């Protein structure tokens, strides 16, 4: 769901020019090592795109992404970091549910039940998450 809290739907849509949303299927990053995966993600974000990834990064890749983007602040003009959110199951499916989901994911080659959204902080003001919904608040 995309929503700018302060504006009504359809109003001022012209001001949202200058970025695009890109979808990255897991098959595009499955074969990449962590370095190349992060590089690919950064390349997309630094081109002013909001990235939607099928699946999720490993915890160490998430921290690596945060660390790498932190190192870029102050070196890349107007870059202020990223907004990041992972949407996945609520983790309350029980041991059997997790086990079967684990097998399904292992067979498929990734965690397809999750979706990762990453955007440059200059475009994405905030990603608000709660168990029922996700809101992507954009900067004016």
Partner 1 sequence: MPVKIFKNFFGRIFSGIFRNKKEIKLGFYGPPNVGKTSLANRICKDFTGEEIGSVSKIPHETRNVQFKEKVEIEYKGKKMTFKLVDTPGIATKIDYEEFLKYKMNKKEAKERAKEATQGVIESIKWLDDMDMVVVVLDATENPYNQVNITIIGNLVARKIPVIILANKIDMKKADIKKIEMAFPEYDVIGISAKYGKNLEEFYESIFKLSKRV
Residues that bind partner 1 (CB under 8 A): 58-60, 62-63, 66-67, 69-71, 73-74, 80-86, 91-92, 121, 127-131
CA distances from 44 to 36, 72, 80, 130 (A): 12, 15, 15, 26
Cβ 67 to partner 1 shortest distance, Å: 5
**Looking at beta carbons only, is 14 or 130 nearer to partner 1?**
130
**Looking at beta carbons only, is 13 or 71 nearer to partner 1?**
71
Cβ 56 to partner 1 shortest distance, Å: 9
Q: Cα-flanking dihedrals φ and ψ of residue 58, to 5°?
A: -70, 155
Cβ 104 to partner 1 shortest distance, Å: 20
Cβ 121 to partner 1 shortest distance, Å: 4
C-alpha angle with apex 113: 119 to 96, nearest 5 degrees? 145
**Looking at beta carbons only, is 10 or 75 nearer to partner 1?**
75
CB-CB contact of 139 with 124 (8 Å): yes
CB-CB contact of 56 with 86 (8 Å): yes
**Looking at beta carbons only, is 27 or 34 nearer to partner 1?**
34
CA distances from 11 to 8, 16, 108, 137, 138 (A): 6, 10, 41, 15, 14
């Amino acid at each position: 769901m995309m929503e700018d809290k302060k504006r009504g739907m359809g109003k001022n849509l012209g001001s949202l020019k200058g970025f695009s949303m890109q979808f990255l299927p897991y098959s595009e990053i499955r074969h990449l090592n962590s370095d190349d995966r992060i590089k690919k993600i950064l390349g997309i974000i630094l081109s002013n795109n909001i990235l939607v990834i099928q699946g999720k990064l490993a915890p160490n890749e998430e921290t690596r992404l945060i660390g790498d983007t932190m190192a870029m602040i102050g070196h890349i003009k107007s870059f202020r970091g990223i907004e990041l959110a992972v949407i996945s199951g609520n983790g309350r499916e029980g041991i059997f549910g997790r086990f079967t989901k684990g097998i399904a994911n292992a067979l498929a080659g990734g965690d397809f039940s999750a979706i990762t959204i990453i955007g440059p902080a200059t475009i994405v003001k905030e990603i608000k998450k709660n168990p029922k919904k996700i809101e992507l608040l954009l900067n004016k």
